[in-house]
Structure 1
């Protein structure tokens, strides 16, 4: 049924739990897994040399964190013999990056984590998972905290 599963990660333990769920689905369906880490862009104001240096430092650190998160995610799938490829992208809005990656890769399922915030925290912090659910036509499996 599912041939290509997208698993977004933020490097958290909860994202690894979502990967554990995705690996079982991938094994059951003979699916490939695509991991994605979406980097928020640097809040660049364009004034002075310090801004350019800050941008480079930010991007280097962000790519390092993304690489580590995707490596950890990949280990979950490698341990079970499930094909995995990871990708790091930069987008202004994280949920849009998740959806764009799913579409570009031809994924037919998104498996992602949610912290399950409610009330004021959900309103203030927002939820990437909620926004993905709202804006994609693909099936989404949410693994909650």
Structure 2
């Protein structure tokens, strides 16, 4: 049976519902949980100046962007860990900066020794789902371990 879940969370309402469901399941089977938040990369590399259409981005802007993302990640993870503590579930939090979200999720699962990824689906259907794709879909197609998807309700 599963002993260690990776639960990616972006702080959205649906993601919070998935956190709650993951904790419910973890509590029932005695599994531990690692919550994971991917911080967006500031155009891939913060050390590269970007130019275009007469715009030059100040390195200070990149620094502020990265600081705000790190603070948000810590807030999201702290909320999830507090929920785990209230449920009596052993939990940790992890974050990384990566421009490719699904790769970061798969790397985190491997690095943390997880045997299940428990994540939300944002519920895009039809053409929107096909065109926009989904990080959940990418995780499903590239994962070498089980992925449990908490279904989305409606559109984003």
Stretches of structure 2 that go unaligned for 5 or more consecutive residues are: none
Deviation at 1:137?
1.4
Cα deviation, residue 54, structure 1: 1.2
2:18 matched residue in structure 1: 18
Provide the TM-score with structure 2 as the length reference. Answer: 0.87
Instruction: Give the superposition deviation at 1:3.
Output: 1.1
Task: Give the equivalent residue in structure 2 for 1:66.
Answer: 73
Report which stretch shifted further, 114-123 or 126-135: 114-123
Change (3 A) 1:47 1:118: closer
- Equivalent runs, 1:74-85 vs 2, <5 Å: 74-85=81-92
TM-score scaled by structure 1?
0.93
Deviation digits for residues 71-103 of structure 1, max 9, x if unmatched? 121122111010110011011200000000001
Checking the alignment, whether the CA contact within 8 Å between 2:49 and 2:57 is kept in structure 1 is: no
Report Cα offsets for 1:102-145 as digits up to 9, x if no partner.
Answer: 01111000110111101221133220111000000111111112
Which has the higher mean CA deviation after the structures are superposed, 41-50 or 27-36? Answer: 41-50
Alignment of 1:1-145 (within 5 A): 1-43=1-43, 44=46, 45-47=48-50, 50-145=57-152
Task: State how many pairs are aligned.
Answer: 145
CA apart distance, 1:13: 1.3
Q: Which has the larger radius of gyration?
A: 2
Cα distance in 2, alignment partners of residues 96 and 103 from structure 1: 11
Alignment deviations for residues 25-81 of structure 1 (CA, whole Å, 9 cap, x no partner): 211221110000001100255159843111101001101111111112112211101
Which sections of structure 1, spanning at least 5 residues, go unmatched? none
Query: For the Cα contact (< 8 Å) 2:37–2:95, is it kept in 1?
Result: yes
